Chain A
Amino acid sequence: MKLEKSRRIIRVAKKILPGGSTFNKTAFFDEGKTPFCLVKGNKSEVTDIDGNNYTDFMNGLGCNLLGYNIGFINRAVEKEINNGCLLPFASDLEIQVAKKLKKLIPSAEMVRFGKNGSDVLTQAVKLSRYCTNKKHVIFGGYHGWHDWVIGSSSRSGGIPEAEKKISHKFIFNDFNSILKLHKKLNGNIACIVMDLVARYYPEKNFLKKVRDFCSKNKILLVFDEIVTGFRINKGGAQTFFKVTPDLSCFGKAMGNGMPISALVGKKQYMKKFNDVFYAMNFVGEKASLAAAKVTLDYYLKNDVAKEINKKGNFLSTQLKKIIKKYKLNNFIQIQGMSSRIIIGFKNNLDSDFLKKKSADIDQIVRFMIQTFAENKILCNLSVFINKSHSKKDLTKFAKIFDQICYKISNSKV
């Protein structure tokens, strides 16, 4: 595999872009053994700057749900570019997209748009603080890059102490962790922000308990559907699990690659945006709205979620079989959901298994990512299935995974 240009680009990029890229997800892709820079995408295939083709299982971190270069979306975008993608004030495209979201999502009575998921999640927090007149935020997972989320992460540099004191993380599937925080904070909680499936499915009744708890204590329940939206079900995880939040946030797959996100929710809360200030330059940008319009239309008319879940199911069954075959059950674990499989590791990372191999987890991850890349598969262990993936793509993925597991179990890492 030729990677000369990729290697050259890494050197240049690190000089002028902090970390070498706009994404924070270049880890293991900046060592010259995988592609670093992509220049083209078509359906489920991407091309790197050296001209190598890969089957892409990263899918723009989950935004390309239908695959790359989809004709009808391109045409809608091109039309708005020709008309001028940014115009004064508003356009009727906003109404059309809002109506489609309303049709798809149970909790959507009113809508505000953003560009990235972080935009709308942060607005949801602000709106909750205003509606409840309370200040603390508790959240379950990863919800973007803003202060209230990152304050409790390992990369919390630059976040004021004051913010760290008012945002707190609870443990997913551990309802007691929520009760404990509620007690500790004297009930001064504005909202609970959570995703519904990241690595794990919610345990039975967990969501219902959280919902009831929020209603009882006048806490707004905010669902982060940036990843689950349109993917686990066309109506999001809230439809799949039949729990209705007060506010919820969508992004990623909403415009199939065009930058758009949305905060939706109940009217009684959403209308408070007449006080709470939220206006950004590019939220009404029409090329992205047009992409969202036709993409959502497609989701309404075709059960894409069902299709990709079926594909994902097929793949995850294969992967589980392979793990079992090589007796790696105590080490490698298939997590996540069918439409977004996470190749994870059991919690005992310093386990006997690794000790025996005298390897650390980074070495294993690196080996996996690089082996996939050598075999022309783009995968960072968070496996996003898209509609364009063929059965052949999935079988090939499983085959390479088999080779990887074989090598891991035979100490060849």
Chain B
Amino acid sequence: MIRLNKNKLFLKGYKNLIPGTKIFDRFDPFMIGQTPYFFKKGKGSYSWDIDNNKYLDFHMSLGSIILGYSHEKVNHSAKKQLLKGMTFSLMNDLEIETARKMIKMIPSAEMVRFGKNGSDVLAAGVRLARYITKRDKVISCGWHGIHDWSLANTSRNYGIPNEIKKLSLKFEFNNIESLHNLIKKNKNEVACIVMDLCAKYYPKKGFLNEVKKIAKKNKILLIFDEIITGFRLHPGGAQKYFGVTPDLSCFGKGLANGFPLSALVGKKRYMRKANDLFYSLTFAGESISLAAGSTALDIYNDLKLSKELENKGNYLINKLQKAIDENSLNDNIKIYGMPCRPIIEIKHYSKNLSIKKTLSLNLIKDFAKKKILYNGSIFICKTHTLKELNYMSLIFNEVLEKNKKYFK
């Protein structure tokens, strides 16, 4: 059992001061106080909550950690920079150092512009595409941050004016027809296609090339969202892994292994135009995150790392699948996504959403009781050992056995 006294106590104060924590439906249990919500420390594969419970962590700050929490070398660079200063009045040479490394690693990167969150640089990418094409509409598939253009075509589009919603269109991943139709219907109106390359599914053979062909033919800019895939799937991102180079692409999350840094990269002929636009943030050049990013990139620039993450992920997926088989839950639980980030999805025959929800929550709760931090999406990091993965699959089996009855 875990004691969560402090977690429960802090939760009350938190809710009175900081609104909006409810909006991740699947995080409800973390709010109910049955699972931890407040964390104080992380090291390698482990995190500690405020009640001092230690968890084997597969959350990895929603994938912002690739090398494990509090990585020595990355921290060392950050602390060294801390003594020199945080945010300067003019540029800092770390901008150049970090940009150069990205340019070497990422096929589409000829020029670089930094931001803090993925949302910053995705919105900057969309603006640049609108400027270059002189068109207003955006076609996307997947999740691309919190700005109006991106939330407009989701169920979370509160507070976004209708005329803005109309500019954002959605196509279906791996369905080239859906893209064709949208472009036909909005001829000469589409500025860019924004997509991630491997969220739940791998791209079908030829799909990405087909997207690129359509984009080029219609003079639409192709933007890859590599916030999750970047450095995780391959040092050069998913674009290198799948061999398709976009016009612009966006990196964030793991870029500085937990330090706040994101980047818009792209072809020179487009990126140059960014200088006509206005994209300027006080903290975009903040140097501690850049120092961390520069060091993290050195570590990422090694095929062995992404191979290692893939191998570990495959190892875990096999074990998890075996547990699903053994419990005869193949129709109910499916594993999607890349090996380095398996997504576990629960399907329930009952149309009763609350049962499905209860079940998801049960899993999260039961994992927490066994000191594993899990929320459906599993992020593999460098420090996860085979022993830890074995433990994960062992508990997975136990949790499934315990909850099997709810599926029937």
Contact = CB atoms under 8 A, between A and B. Distances in A.
B249 interface: no
A84 B18 contact: no
A281 B117 contact: yes
Contact of B163 (A115, A165, A281): A165
Contacts of B274: 18-19
A98 B13 CA distance: 10
A145 interface: yes
B282 interface: yes
Contacts, number: 348
A42 B85 CA distance: 8
Given A37-B91, A46-B89, A98-B18, A282 B103 contact: no
Contacts of B178: none
B283 A285 contact: no
A87 B91 contact: no
Interface string B79-93: 100111111111111
Contacts of A378: 89-90
A282 B64 contact: yes
A92 B23 contact: no
Nearest to A130: B159
28 contacts: A15-B111, A22-B280, A24-B279, A24-B280, A38-B91, A40-B85, A41-B88, A48-B90, A81-B70, A83-B40, A83-B70, A86-B258, A89-B36, A91-B50, A92-B10, A95-B13, A95-B14, A110-B16, A135-B161, A160-B164, A160-B167, A252-B282, A259-B289, A270-B19, A276-B159, A281-B117, A282-B260, A287-B259
B18 A22 contact: no
A89 B280 contact: no
B108 interface: no
A126 B271 contact: no
Given A58-B89, A84-B258, A88-B61, A126 B148 contact: yes
Given A24-B280, A81-B78, A91 B89 contact: no
Contacts of B27: 89
A63 B285 CA distance: 12
A257 to B, nearest CB: 3
Interface string A36-59: 111111100010110000001011
A171 interface: no
Size band of the interface chain B makes with A:
35 or more
A259 B113 contact: no
A35 interface: yes
Q: Is the interface of B mostly helix, strand, loop or mixed?
A: mixed
Interface stretch (A150-158, A315-323, A357-365, A394-402): A150-158
Interface stretch (B123-131, B210-218, B302-310, B394-402): B123-131
Nearest to A69: B85
Interface string B282-296: 111110110000000
B159 A126 contact: yes
B164 A162 contact: yes
Interface stretch (A116-124, A232-240, A348-356): A116-124
Given A157-B276, A273-B20, A61 B89 contact: yes
Contacts of A1: none
Contact of B19 (A23, A29, A88, A110): A110
Contacts of B286: 257-259
A208 interface: no
A85 to B, nearest CB: 5
Nearest to B17: A98
A243 interface: no
Contact of B156 (A64, A116, A165, A277): A277
Interface stretch (B94-102, B199-207, B312-320, B351-359): B94-102
B96 A280 contact: no
B248 to A, nearest CB: 12
A77 interface: yes
Interface string A249-274: 00110001111000000000011111
A329 interface: no
B253 A277 contact: no
Identify which of A35, A89, A274, A291 gathers the most chain B CB atoms within 10 Å of its CB.
A89
Nearest to B46: A84
Contact of A87 (B39, B99, B167): B39
Identify which of B75, B283, B288 gathers the most chain A CB atoms within 10 Å of its CB.
B283
B99 A9 contact: no
Contact of B288 (A117, A251, A287): A287
B2 interface: no
A374 interface: no
B104 to A, nearest CB: 11
A89 B37 contact: yes
A21 B86 contact: no
A259 B103 CA distance: 25
B146 A277 contact: yes
A378 B88 CA distance: 11
B246 interface: no
A112 interface: yes
A159 B277 CA distance: 10
Contact of A111 (B17, B87, B160): B17
Contacts of B346: none
A179 interface: no
Nearest to A10: B91
Contacts of A252: 282
B119 A280 contact: yes
A130 B16 CA distance: 21
B403 to A, nearest CB: 23
B239 interface: no
Contacts of A276: 20, 158-159
A280 B278 contact: no
Contacts of A92: 10, 38, 40, 50
A156 to B, nearest CB: 8
A24 to B, nearest CB: 4
